[in-house]
Amino acid sequence: MFDALIEKLQTGRYITLETTPGHIPTIDNIIEKIEKLKLHERVDGFSTTDNPLAKLKYNSLFAACKLQKRFKKPVIATMTMRDRNKIALQSDLLAANDFDVRAILALTGDPAKISDQPNTKGCFEGDSTLLLDIIKCFNAGIDYAGKEFAIKPKRIYPFAVSNAYAKNPKTIQKRFKKKLDHRAMAIITQPVFDIKNAKKLLEMFDEIRNQYEGERRKAQLIFGFFPVTRLKTAQFLASHVPGINVPSYWIDELYKAHRDGERKEYEVGFQLSKELFEALVGLHPKIHIMTANRFELADEILH
């Protein structure tokens, strides 16, 4: 399962779809939507988020296990540093390994102070590179303290993330290098909204990747893609989310459409998003689709 995913990532067209487990004790609602739309037949895998914005949600590792069992497709399970110390990180990885959840997206995590749970404190024993280092140890058959496992874990596939935009592009390139130094096999960007930005990211990534030899030279950049169909969403992303750049012409087009009604606004936003998706596929067909569980929108994009 995972070998086929990595083969597609490194050599061909690779499309994954993000799922966000809810504030309920099941992900059957997500599974049912995916099945109804037959999205599992049109993507190479899924991902599960891990309490985004420090809000309480269904566990990402259990969600990954259930999605894999149902769809027989690999799932990249997110793990944040915010909620776990070194013991918990390694314990979760061991159990996940037993259930064949072996693609892990390492995140530092949003700050605990924005949590919806009162007086929550973050753990943060390190940033996401600590988890990448732990995975490197597991793949060598030892824990982070250097103690050998009696049974070596099955191979774990580490993924990482990066901003999609910065006023000083060199800061992104440094982040690429840091993640590849710690053996991330792929880096997923935050949503990209401009093909020129995408080309620049790819150019910077290739410049860093080509400095390595062996497995790290096979690392891939994956474009984050978030279809926007409402003016307020585009404006929020442009104004409040660091590391993302929504071009002014997107805002202008959505503003004009907004005055003509909700339907027109959706049509214009969808068309901008669809054209961008097709351009990204033409440039570098390694894309991670994020829709905040608006799976009908993913269905339209993939058609």
Task: Say whether pLDDT at 125 is over 90.
Answer: yes
Inter-CA distances, 55 with 18, 21, 58, 120, Å: 17, 11, 10, 10
Q: At what angle do helices 169-181 and 195-209 cross, to 10 degrees?
A: 40
* Structure token pair of residue 115: 């949590």
* Whole-number average pLDDT of the chain: 96
pTM (predicted TM-score): 0.96
- 84-123 pLDDT, tens per residue? 999 999 999 999 999 999 999 999 999 999 999 999 999 9
Please report the pLDDT score of residue 66 as a whole number: 98
* Structure token pair of residue 133: 């280092």
Alpha helices by DSSP H, listed for 12-127, are 28-37, 60-71, 86-98
The percentage of residues in the chain with a pLDDT greater than 70, rounded to a whole number, is: 100
Q: How far is residue 15's CA from residue 106's CA, in Å, rounded to a whole number?
A: 19
Please report the pLDDT score of residue 303 as a whole number: 86
Query: Per mean pLDDT, which range of 52-56, 213-217, 232-236, 297-301 is the poorest?
Result: 213-217
Please report the pLDDT score of residue 109 as a whole number: 92
- 201-244 pLDDT, tens per residue? 999 999 999 999 988 999 999 999 999 999 999 999 998 888 99
- 164-195 pLDDT, tens per residue? 999 999 999 999 999 999 999 999 999 999 99
Task: Say whether pLDDT at 259 is over 90.
Answer: yes
Q: How far is residue 182's CA from residue 132's CA, in Å, rounded to a whole number?
A: 6
Domains of the chain: 2-302 (3.20.20.220)
Please report the pLDDT score of residue 197 as a whole number: 95
Please report the pLDDT score of residue 241 as a whole number: 86
Secondary element (H or E) of residue 270: helix 262-283
Please report the pLDDT score of residue 240 as a whole number: 85
- Residue whose tokens read 């824990």: 143
- 10-38 pLDDT, tens per residue? 999 999 999 999 999 999 999 999 999 99
Task: Say whether pLDDT at 60 is over 90.
Answer: yes
Please report the pLDDT score of residue 198 as a whole number: 97
